[in-house]
Amino acid sequence: MERRLRDLLSGLEGVAAESHPDCPVTGVTEDSRQVRPGSLFVAVPGGVVDGHQFIAEAVNAGACAVVGEKLIADPKVPYIRVRDSRQALGHLAAGWWGFPARKMVMIGVTGTDGKTTTCGLILEILRQAAISAGMVSTVHATIGREELDTGLHVTTPAAPDLQSLLARMVQAGITHCVVEVTSHALAQRRVEGCEFDVGAVTNITREHLDYHASLEAYREAKSELLAGLASSSAKPYAYRKLAVLNRDDPAFEFLQSRSPVEVLSYGQSEVCQVRGTDLTAGPAGLRMRVQFREAEFPLQSSLLGAYNAFNILAAVGVTAGALGLPAEVIAAGVRVLRSVPGRMEVIDLGQDFKAIVDFAHTPHALESALRAARDLTAGRVIAVFGSAGLRDREKRRSMARLSVGLADFTLLTAEDPRTEELQVILEEMAVGAREGGGVEGKTFWRMPDRSQAILSAVDRAQPGDLVIVCGKGHEQSMCFGDVEYPWDDRLAVKAALAQHLHLAGWTMPHLPTWGMR
């Protein structure tokens, strides 16, 4: 497949396409290692490396033209200077694939917690409505009934990869697409060219301040999803442009002020347009009644944790408010989603206590998960989690402080320490645990190796207790230094349970911390 350079540049902000030489383009990439003869190389400045440093390498590999932000002396091929390389990359990638988002109703979901679950709920509701739907989440991409892996440590894919997935959806006949949109993706313009029609926000709590520097900047990044709703192209399907916002979240008024389109509020307070009432949550899931406009209908879900009521209400707001789907279809879609990988996922090998793996890696999410755990057992709650290196340091203390107050036993362990010293991270967490009234060696322990921590939690469990392992969820690796080591909390918990029960068939994965004290 080929495109003309001038065609790709057409519509790119601040660029007069006709003022540049034309040439056939065989692909668009920001990775010089992926350049092939005829590629258009986009030089993107990054936090660690600057793509402009690799222009010569890209040209030597056969790049026919280069797009970048900086003045470059004698690039030897046509050089198109732009104000924002990241924005240009998104536009160019979308153009390369024929602007696939213009052919589908695009639904974006952002927020600190609950994005993946909300996307999964929306997808299942669309399926129940016999709508041909696709999804891109941090767990996987779904095209019809096909599921594709999206990586190890995952976020919203890079613009070329995302646009490639959207193009595959269009080719497969998908008419509606749900995308989980992270704050990094918004700040780095990875979703440029996605032309979202509906935007939903779950909540905004403290997270990623290592990148965004302040909660205000983090909120601003999240609000970018809403800012683009008014400018998306008209789609050949029935829908309303809508911002679906959590009325009970402190960020509601800020987000409402940033929305250029109609806002639909959801939550449990009386002023919400989509309101959940009569909520009950327990081991079998949750039930509630939903009021929307003049209608009121019951919903039942197998999802664990009362906090999932907000994710369900967000999905109702999108599917009922923006797409006009009926209550019975929505109820069926909510009912059919039994679980989401790594989200309050029950691991059962026949043990006489409960074991759960959850992705909770923020203070708010951990608090919600531990409160849900309390609702699921009359026994003791044993929590295992860590805090990532090179990320917001304040949450290390706050998460440990929360855990010693909500769990009976807390095991502090490794969670992607990256290039930070693991013992330093654990000491900061221990400070928070002590601030919360925890007593080291009695109510909380430091166990650097995650395998050993999970084994210890399982061995400590008595009949009726609940072990919950938080922070990694569905992820398939853990980072030490700059190396990703294979890791899956769910497999590790199964291996620990198998050892506890003297069952064969499960092997505990080992990390570089194995045997560390």
**pLDDT tens profile 111-146:** 989 999 999 999 999 999 999 999 999 888 999 888
Residue 298 within a domain: no
What band does 151 get if pLDDT is binned at 50, 70 and 90?
low
* 18 and 115 fall within a common domain: no
160 and 30 Cβ atoms separated by less than 8 Å: yes
In Å, how far are 203, 247, 292 from 270, measured between CA atoms?
18, 10, 12
* 115 and 29 fall within a common domain: no
* 464 and 408 fall within a common domain: yes
In Å, how far are 35, 162, 177, 183 from 192, measured between CA atoms?
21, 10, 15, 13
In Å, how far are 27, 95, 175 from 102, measured between CA atoms?
20, 11, 10
Residue 417 within a domain: yes
Structure tokens given for 416:
């992607």
Residue 514 within a domain: no
Which residues make beta-bridge pairs with 418?
480
- Domain of 480 in residue numbering reads as 345-501
Residue 117 within a domain: yes
Residue 340 within a domain: no
* 321 and 367 fall within a common domain: no
- Report whether pLDDT(218) > 90: no
% of the chain beyond a pLDDT of 90: 82
Spell out the residues 6+ positions from residue 281 whose beta carbon is closer than 8 angstroms to its own: 304, 305, 306, 308, 309, 372, 375
Residue 454 within a domain: yes
Specify the pTM.
0.91
User: What is the per-residue pLDDT for 18?
Assistant: 81
